[in-house]
């Protein structure tokens, strides 16, 4: 009886191993999922900035330092997605030699459209974020600070500069992914 259990267990494991997902497809799907999460993070950062501008405009007050700080934190969190993509890129490079030309063509047919859509979505989210940041900077410039020293405006301007730098730092982390390694 024990031998039967061992035989059935071995057979079951062999069948399951044959049914497992292609590791290359899994890697591609993980990459696209991370790109979707990146798009969501970019959209959320833009929304945070747009909401801060709308609230400040409605109240006739300066931009909220807390809202700018929140957007900065969201922008800094984008670095985590860049690290995840870097990890997937490394795994893909390690698997590259194991992929046949037929598999490569199959992956291209299967995933090219999805990948292009993911890239378009990331690009669109980046444009929204750029516009939101530009609108925030414009609002801050046009806002009339009742303080003759313009202290509030300067504080908000400094916070916006830090936010812009956090966004640029995150973009730099993503740019590393697109550079070809020598």
Q: 167 with 133: CB under 8 angstroms?
A: yes
DSSP output for 79-116: HHHHHHHHHHHHHHHHHGGG--HHHHHHHHHHHHHHHH
Distance separating alpha carbons of residues 65 and 52, to the nearest angstrom: 9
Q: What is the radius of gyration, based on Cα positions, of the chain? A: 24
Q: 36 with 117: CB under 8 angstroms?
A: no
Q: 55 with 64: CB under 8 angstroms?
A: yes
**Is the Cα dihedral 85, 91, 96, 98 positive or negative?**
negative
How open is the CA angle 130-132-133, to the nearest 5 degrees? 65
**CB within 8 A of 140, min separation 6: which ones?**
62, 63, 153, 156, 157, 160
Q: What is the pLDDT tens value at each position of the chain, 182 positions in all?
A: 444 333 334 433 433 344 447 888 898 999 999 999 999 999 999 999 999 999 999 998 999 999 999 999 999 999 999 999 899 988 988 888 888 889 989 989 999 999 899 999 999 999 999 999 999 999 988 877 777 777 888 899 999 999 999 999 999 888 877 664 44
Altogether, the residues listed in the chain come to a count of 182
> pTM for the full model?
0.80
Residue 122: count other Cβ atoms within 10 Å of its Cβ. Answer: 17
Angle between helices 101-142 and 151-178 (to 10 degrees): 170
Helix (H, G, I), strand (E, B) or coil at 131: helix
DSSP output for 40-76: HHHHHHHHHHHHHHHHHHHHT-PPPHHHHHHHHHHHH
């Amino acid at each position: 009886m024990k031998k039967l259990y061992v035989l059935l267990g071995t057979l079951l494991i062999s069948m399951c191993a044959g049914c497992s997902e292609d590791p290359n497809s899994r890697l591609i799907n993980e990459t696209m999922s991370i790109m979707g999460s990146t798009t969501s993070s970019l959209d959320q950062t833009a929304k945070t900035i747009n909401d801060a501008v709308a609230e400040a405009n409605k109240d006739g007050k300066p931009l909220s330092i807390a809202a700018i700080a929140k957007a900065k934190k969201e922008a800094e969190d984008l670095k985590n997605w860049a690290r995840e993509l870097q990890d997937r890129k490394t795994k893909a490079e390690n698997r590259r030699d194991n992929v046949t030309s037929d598999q490569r063509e199959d992956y291209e047919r299967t995933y090219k459209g999805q990948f292009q859509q993911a890239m378009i979505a990331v690009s669109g989210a980046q444009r929204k974020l750029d516009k939101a940041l530009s609108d925030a900077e414009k609002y801050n410039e046009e806002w009339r600070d009742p303080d003759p020293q313009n202290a509030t405006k300067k504080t908000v301007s400094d916070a916006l500069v830090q936010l812009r730098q956090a966004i640029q730092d995150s973009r730099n982390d993503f740019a590393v992914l697109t550079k070809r390694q020598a």
